[in-house]
Amino acid sequence: MLIGLGLGPGNPELLTLRAVRLLKEADVVFVPGKIAYNLVAPYRHAIVLDFPMTDDESRIKASLKENAAVIAPAARKGCAVFGILGDPNFYSTFSRLCAVMAEEYPDIECRTEPGISAITAFAAAANLSLSNGFLVSDGGMPDTRILLKVRRPKERAAELKKEGYREFVLVERMYFPDMKVYRNGDLPEQSDYLSVMYARR
């Protein structure tokens, strides 16, 4: 198994308790650079992998394949952790790495564990309250919406379909013992206040 583990925005005190536990329990830990290595160092030795910072797509793809080949034996034998700054599901190298793993090593399961993302860290550092709707983008045109506190998910999805959204995921009471995940046609009529919906065009 390969776990993409969020290490937070760079301050060692912003690692989660879960992150520290997984770092200690993993069979092998990999990181993509020096900052991540320093965050992990108090808990484990980590293997540093090279991911070039470039716009050259061919170099990026070659690097992902090379690093997947290094990670695969450890992930196949036990639990490999890939520690990454921020959160592994927000604009992350790990998402692209998982796509390569799925192509080259389909027998290896990939999953993620959240970290404090740059978005939430920014709000705290800037002393801002983000209480209304807001847009997050890497410069491209957004094709995804995240909706909080969705009480009538089926009805909300029907409204979004009129705007061209086609893929829906609802997570109800995430990380509580009774957490539920619904997708597309399985969306319930009503859901808990602690619900988050993902919609993609």
User: What's the pLDDT at 194?
Assistant: 92
Cβ atoms 1, 18 nearer than 8 A: no
The answer as to CATH 3.40.1010.10 being correct for domain 2-119 is yes
Within 10 angstroms of residue 27's Cβ, the number of other Cβ atoms is 12
User: What's the pLDDT at 31?
Assistant: 97
User: What's the pLDDT at 121?
Assistant: 92
Farthest CA pair distance, the chain: 51
State how far the Cα of 36 lies from the Cα of 49, in Å rounded to an integer: 11
User: What's the pLDDT at 137?
Assistant: 83
User: What's the pLDDT at 42?
Assistant: 97
User: What's the pLDDT at 133?
Assistant: 84
Cβ atoms 3, 113 nearer than 8 A: yes
Q: Give the pLDDT of the chain (201 residues) as one tens digit per residue.
A: 999 999 999 999 999 999 999 999 999 999 999 999 999 999 999 999 999 888 888 999 999 999 999 999 999 999 999 999 999 998 888 999 999 999 999 999 999 999 999 889 999 989 988 888 888 888 888 899 999 999 999 999 999 999 999 999 999 999 999 999 999 989 999 999 999 999 999
| Domain extents in the chain | 2-119, 144-200
User: What's the pLDDT at 130?
Assistant: 85
User: What's the pLDDT at 141?
Assistant: 85
User: What's the pLDDT at 61?
Assistant: 92
SS3 content of the chain, % helix, strand, coil (to 5): 35, 20, 45
Give this prediction's pTM.
0.86
